[in-house]
Amino acid sequence: MVRILVLHGPNLNLLGTRERAIYGTLSMDSIDSALTKQAEELGVAIDIRQSNNEGELVTWIQEAGSGFDGVIINPAAYTHTSIAIRDAIAAVGLPTIEVHLSNIHQREPFRHHSYVSGVALGQISGLGPIGYSLALRGLHEHLVATRRRKKTLSVSRRQKSKTK
């Protein structure tokens, strides 16, 4: 079974009440419930966590190296400041999708740069809560395809060594 860790960064616990014109009216719990349901349908095991603390997010990413196959992260404001989160993602080497509810490239200039995107498999920005759902679907397909490729490679290696 594919195992995916979903991380929400600072202030995302306030979704639903926070700057609704930008982030919408859905709460984090509603987003998480929809994601949990989708994961069940896909047969994916997910663990969803939120933290306002950079160090805690770094620790969770490090720990994901054993126990998870991929990460979905909305680093929120840490996107634009945290070399530590970028380094943790690079260190564990798990395929990671970066999600933003708003289109960070259309907003204030300080939000245009992401430290995370350079080490992410991809970035989804500006589609609202559906971005998480697309990230789950995309990451799941990526992980299944990678597993299939590895399996085919090891079978063909075994067959080759038998014929030697």
Q: Which is nearer to ligand DQA, 3 or 107 (CB)?
A: 107
Cα(2)–Cα(134) distance, rounded to whole angstroms?
16
Q: Which is nearer to ligand DQA, 50 or 143 (CB)?
A: 50
**Cβ 79 to ligand DQA, closest distance in Å?**
6
Q: Residue 87: left (phi > 0), alpha (psi -120 to 50), or beta? A: alpha
Question: For residues 116 and 73, is the Cβ–Cβ distance under 8 A?
Answer: yes
**Cβ 63 to ligand DQA, closest distance in Å?**
22
Residue 78 annotated among the catalytic residues of the structure: no
Residue 23 annotated among the catalytic residues of the structure: yes
Binding mask 57-86 for ligand DQA (x = CB under 6 A): -----------------x-xx-x-------
Three-state DSSP class for residue 47 = strand
Stretch that binds ligand DQA, among 30-38, 48-56, 101-109, 132-140 (CB under 6 A): 101-109
Residue 22: CB atoms within 10 A of its CB come to: 10
**Cβ 136 to ligand DQA, closest distance in Å?**
16
Residues near 77 by Cβ (< 8 Å), separated by ≥ 6?
9, 10, 11
Question: For residues 144 and 70, is the Cβ–Cβ distance under 8 A?
Answer: no
* Contact footprint for ligand DQA (CB under 6 A): 11, 74, 76-77, 79, 100-102, 104, 111
